[in-house]
Structure formats: structure tokens, C-alpha cells
Amino acid sequence: MNILIIGCGKVGSRLAGFLSRRGHAVSIVDRSPWAFDRLDDDFTGYTVEGIPLDGDVLKEAGIEGCDILVAVTNDDNINLMVGQMAREIFGVPKVLARLYDPRRRDVYSQMGLHVVCPTSITTDNILSIIEENIEEGTQVSVAGASLGLSVWKVPDQYVGQPVSSLPKETGYAVLGIVDERGKIFRLGAEAEKAVLAPGDRILRGRALG
């Protein structure tokens, strides 16, 4: 995929390195030339120095052909405005924006932006969203309550480790493990004790409403 990252801070530089090593075409924009010093030595992507709100800078970085834009500067206004430009002017299919002020969450969502919060943000979380490792499931009713189900593909770095080592997400509970054949072979407390194998996915649930 062609991925454009706005902001070469701690999160942006790490994302750029991981995505580059996974074979994605990555461009990253920052107004400071020294910010690019944070990038790993093996980064093979494209760096653009400039103001992220400048359309010419975004075009130079390849926004017109990118599949995903990730805005992770430390300024909510920049993230929001760049995200809005990406969606409305350049027609970028998927836009992720970091949000510090939770009061703006509804504004971001109404614009079609996927919100990530710095209080719970991890590079793995964003990578999962970018590479569509999280597959949203359906809603089910259990004893009159609505439960949202999703299946999460286990990142390679967790293979061989217990389920308890996975990043915790507020509101979600592990319901079971789905193997590479699509069979649920561990449920409830047994799932928490299991050691993850290649191809495993986590069945998760959260209360709705």
C-alpha cells in the first residue's frame, strides 16, 4: 500500500520504520528537517520537509496516489485539517488522525476520520488498523444485552507468547481463539492461558450501549 504519514515524532517515525520493513511504500512529512533523524537507518521511504497544510507539500509526498493517510502530529488542529483535506480534496480512502482533546471525537468521526487517542495509542494498534488486521464483526444479543464481536489477527511478534501478553484494549474481553482453519478451540479463561500459534486470531467482545 501507499501510505502517507504526517508528523515524524516518536509514533510517526516508528510507524514509518515498521511499515517500510513490511514492504509498504511510505512517505512521511514534517516541518522540521531534524525530525527525520528519528527514522531507522533501514527506512527506504520518502521524506518531505514542509508545512503539512500546504497542498503542494502533500502532493510532493504523494497524497494523490496514497491509500491511507496517518496524521500523528502533536497538534489536534493540524491533524484535523490535514485529515479533512485528505478526505474532501484528495479523496484518500482511509484517514487516521491522532486526537488529544476527547471533546473533538464526534467532529473527527463525522468527517469520516478514524480516531486514535494518545492515552491508549500503541504502534501495534495503528498497524492493525492500517493493515486491516481488525475485522469488525456483527452484533449479537445475549440475555437481552447487545454484544459487539470482532476478530483480531495476532501480530507475528506475539506468536509463541501467552494471550495475556497481548495489548489490552479498554472495554474488550477475550472470548476465544480462532485457529488458521477458522475453528474456535479455546474459550473464556482457557483462552487467556493459551500460547499463540502462527495464524491464530482472537475473538473479542464488548458491551454495546
What confidence score (pLDDT) does residue 116 get? 64
Q: Which residues pair with 194 in a beta bridge?
A: none
Residues 111/83, Cβ–Cβ less than 8 Å: yes
Indicate if the pLDDT at residue 119 is higher than 70. no
The one-letter amino acid at 179: D
Q: Give the pairing type, strands 173-178 and 184-187.
A: antiparallel
Indicate if the pLDDT at residue 195 is higher than 90. no
What's the whole-number average pLDDT of the chain? 78
Residue 33 neighbours by CB under 8 Å, 6+ apart = 49
Indicate if the pLDDT at residue 168 is higher than 90. no
What confidence score (pLDDT) does residue 141 get? 44
What confidence score (pLDDT) does residue 50 get? 96
Give the 3-state secondary structure of residue 30. Answer: strand
Residues 64/82, Cβ–Cβ less than 8 Å: no
Q: Is the pTM of this model over 0.95?
A: no
- Please indicate whether residue 69 or residue 95 has the higher confidence score (pLDDT): 69
Rounded CA gap, 155 and 140, in Å? 26
- Please indicate whether residue 158 or residue 118 has the higher confidence score (pLDDT): 158
Residues 121/152, Cβ–Cβ less than 8 Å: no
| Residue of 136, 183, 134 lying closest to 155 (CA atoms) | 134
Average pLDDT over residues 6-22: 90
Give the 3-state secondary structure of residue 20. Answer: helix
- Please indicate whether residue 201 or residue 83 has the higher confidence score (pLDDT): 83
Provide the grid cell at 110.
463525522
What is the largest distance, in Å, between two alpha-carbon atoms of the chain?
Answer: 57
Average pLDDT over residues 107-122: 59
| Residue of 147, 149, 157, 170 lying closest to 196 (CA atoms) | 157
How many alpha carbons lie under 13 Å from residue 69 in its C-beta half-sphere? Answer: 33
| Residue of 21, 74, 20 lying closest to 47 (CA atoms) | 20
Burial 96-130 (b: 16+ CB within 10 A, else e): bbbbeeeebeeebeeeebbbbeeeeeebebbbbbb
Residues 57/4, Cβ–Cβ less than 8 Å: no
- Could you tell me the domains of the chain? 2-130 (3.40.50.720), 135-207 (3.30.70.1450)
